Amino acid sequence: MMAELKSTILEVLKVSRAYCLVVHESGRIEMVDDDGDGGLLEIAPYEKDILNAVTEIGKIVELDKGFVLTVGETNRRKYVIICLSVIKTPKLTRDEISWLNSLAFYTNVTVENFLKIEELMERLEKAEEGNSNPAWLKKLLFAIEEKQRSNLAKDLHDSVLQDLISLKRQCELVLEESGQYPAATIEKIQSMNQNILDIIHMTRETCQELRPQILYDLGLVKAVSKLVAQYEEQCNFQIRFNTGNFNKQLDINMQLNLYRIIQELLSNARKHSNAKQILIMLVNIREKIVLHYEDDGVGIDEELLYAKTESMGLSGIRERVKALDGEMKIETSPGNGFRVLIEI
């Protein structure tokens, strides 16, 4: 980037040489270019001018044979370009100064972005070495996942679901003229129409699961209440959902993560628990959000629990809790149900 900047300046302005410098907080000047001692000797008479230029980004200090321009700042270091000529150069025009100021501004923005990317890569490398993703990265990954879910739900709703509804309507139109067809054909069309209707219901449920629209429209409590009702219809257990005086104002990402946690707990109960009764409490105590889940199912030996974390969906729950800067505690044993306490 600095090389391209130098090349551009040399093409446009009446200077013949340019050097890129780094000025440290201590005042030490370091040559970025690999020009040997020649470059250092040539800029030596202008050390005070260079230090004068680094007081602000875009500042220009004109010299007898060129000028000094500060183009960026990172990590307590200033990046400077000094441009020189073999003869005395005329003063910079107003347009040239404005052009150099613009170059300095955009160069500084680019340098800052490079630094942020470099810091991000370092943090990711450290996280990889420690085999643990930081909370901000987990939040980002879950946000991307929700975006993908939302896009898929929209695609299903706008294409597949509409095509199914159109196909069902065609079947109904055929059935309206049922007198023209044999009874066996009518029976097949009726069966086909019912199957299409079942698929429509299933597709709508899938869209709702991928993107719970009620959560966006009416909030977390209403969305979980609907989720609980759906599970009670499909499963052999009863669910008590207690929100107490839950009145905490939460952003949409927090609501989505809590919804997904409860969804995964109920899915886990359906697959593994054989429970008859489930209790879910969602309350806010002072500044904390507390989610308590409890069932009277078969439970599991805690020593085996972590061996089955993946199959039981607990790893995803644990990652979401970490992303929300919360804590999670599990209590279970064979024959004594399954309890989860989450505090955020």
Structure tokens at 172: 């109904």
Q: What is the pTM of this model?
A: 0.57
User: If you search the block for the tokens 């942020």, which residue do you land on?
Assistant: 116
Structure tokens, 14: 């009446």
Taking only the tens place, the pLDDT of each residue in 76-126 is 889 999 999 988 888 899 999 999 999 888 888 887 888 778 777 777 677
Interatomic CA distance for residues 70 and 104, integer angstroms = 7
Q: How many residues does the chain have?
A: 344
Along the chain (344 residues), what's the average pLDDT of each consecutive run of 10 residues?
86 90 89 70 89 90 92 85 88 91 88 79 68 67 79 82 88 81 85 88 82 88 92 90 83 90 91 92 88 92 66 78 89 91 93
Distance CA 8, CA 94 (A): 18
- Cα 27–chain centre separation: 40
The string of pLDDT tens digits covering residues 6-30 is 888 988 898 998 999 999 988 889 8
Count of CA atoms in the C-beta half-sphere (13 A) of 174: 18
Contact (CB, 8 A) for 326 and 344: yes
